Amino acid sequence: MSLTKEDIEKFKKLYKEQYDEELNDFVAYEAANHLVNMIRAVYKPIPKADEDLYNKLEKEHEAVPEDKKIDFVKHLVEDAKLTEFKNEIGEKKYWELVRMANGMILQGNQVNLKKNFLKENYPQLLAWLTDLEIIGYLYSAKRMVGFRTTKDIKNFLVKEKDEIFWRIYTNDDKFIGYTSLCSFQGKEQCEFNIFILDKNYWGKSIGLEVTRLILGYAFNRLEMKKVVLETSEFHQGAIKLYEKAGFRKVKVVPNDRTVFHNGEWVLSGSLMMEIVKKEMQDKDVIDLYAKLEDLGIKIWIDGGWAVDALLGEQTRSHEDLDVAVERKNLTKLREYLESKGYNEIKRDEDKMWDLVMGDDKGHELDIHAFSLDDKGSVIAEEYWDGYSSNSLTGSGIIDGQTVRCVSPEQLVKTHDGTKRKLKDSDHEDMDALCSKFGIKL
Ligand SMILES: CC(C)(COP(=O)(O)OP(=O)(O)OC[C@H]1O[C@@H](n2cnc3c(N)ncnc32)[C@H](O)[C@@H]1OP(=O)(O)O)[C@@H](O)C(=O)NCCC(=O)NCCS
The Å distance, Cα 196 to ligand 1 centre, comes to 9
Which candidate, 402, 391, 407, 393, places its Cα nearest to that of 312?
402
Which atom of ligand 1 has the smallest separation from the CA of 202? 8
List the beta strands (DSSP E) in 201-320: 226-232, 248-261, 264-276, 299-302
What rounded mean pLDDT belongs to the chain? 83
> pLDDT digits over 178-194, tens only?
999 999 999 899 999 99
CB within 8 Å of 55: residues ≥ 6 apart: none
Q: What pLDDT is attached to residue 172?
A: 87
> pLDDT digits over 417-436, tens only?
766 678 888 888 899 999 99
The protein residue whose alpha carbon is closest to atom 27 in ligand 1 is: 237
At residue 166, the 3 state secondary structure works out as: strand
The residue that leads in pLDDT, 114 or 65, is 114
- Using CA atoms, how far apart are residues 299 and 370, in angstroms rounded to an integer? 11
The protein residue whose alpha carbon is closest to atom 8 in ligand 1 is: 202
- From the number of C-beta atoms within 10 Å of its C-beta (0-12, 13-18, 19+), residue 345 rates as buried
The residue that leads in pLDDT, 23 or 138, is 138
Q: What percent of the chain has pLDDT over 70?
A: 78
- Using CA atoms, how far apart are residues 102 and 412, in angstroms rounded to an integer? 35
Tell me if 142 sits within 8 A of 91, measured CB to CB.
Answer: no
At residue 65, the 3 state secondary structure works out as: coil
Which atom of ligand 1 has the smallest separation from the CA of 199? 37
The Å distance, Cα 205 to ligand 1 centre, comes to 8
> pLDDT digits over 254-292, tens only?
999 999 999 999 999 999 999 999 888 899 999 999 999
For helices 25-42 and 5-19, give the axis angle rounded to 10 degrees.
90
On the question of pLDDT at 210 being above 90, the answer is yes
* Residue from 137, 181, 196 to probe ligand 1 pocket by mutation (most atoms less than 8 Å from CB): 196
The protein residue whose alpha carbon is closest to atom 30 in ligand 1 is: 241
> pLDDT digits over 388-398, tens only?
888 899 999 99
Range name among 44-58, 94-108, 180-194 with the lowest pLDDT average: 44-58
CA 401 to chain centroid, in Å, comes to 31
> pLDDT digits over 235-249, tens only?
999 999 999 999 999
Q: Please state, as a whole number, how many other Cβ atoms lie within 10 Å of the Cβ of residue 58.
A: 11
The protein residue whose alpha carbon is closest to atom 37 in ligand 1 is: 202
The Å distance, Cα 238 to ligand 1 centre, comes to 5
**What helix, strand, coil percent values describe the chain, rounded to 5?**
45, 25, 30
Query: Identity (one letter) of the amino acid at 368?
Result: H
Who lines ligand 1 at CB under 6 A?
A: 134, 137-138, 194-196, 202-208, 231, 235-238, 240-241, 244
Q: What pLDDT is attached to residue 388?
A: 82
The protein residue whose alpha carbon is closest to atom 48 in ligand 1 is: 231
Domains (ranges, CATH) in the chain? 5-103 (no CATH), 106-276 (3.40.630.30), 282-437 (3.30.460.40)
Q: What pLDDT is attached to residue 44?
A: 42
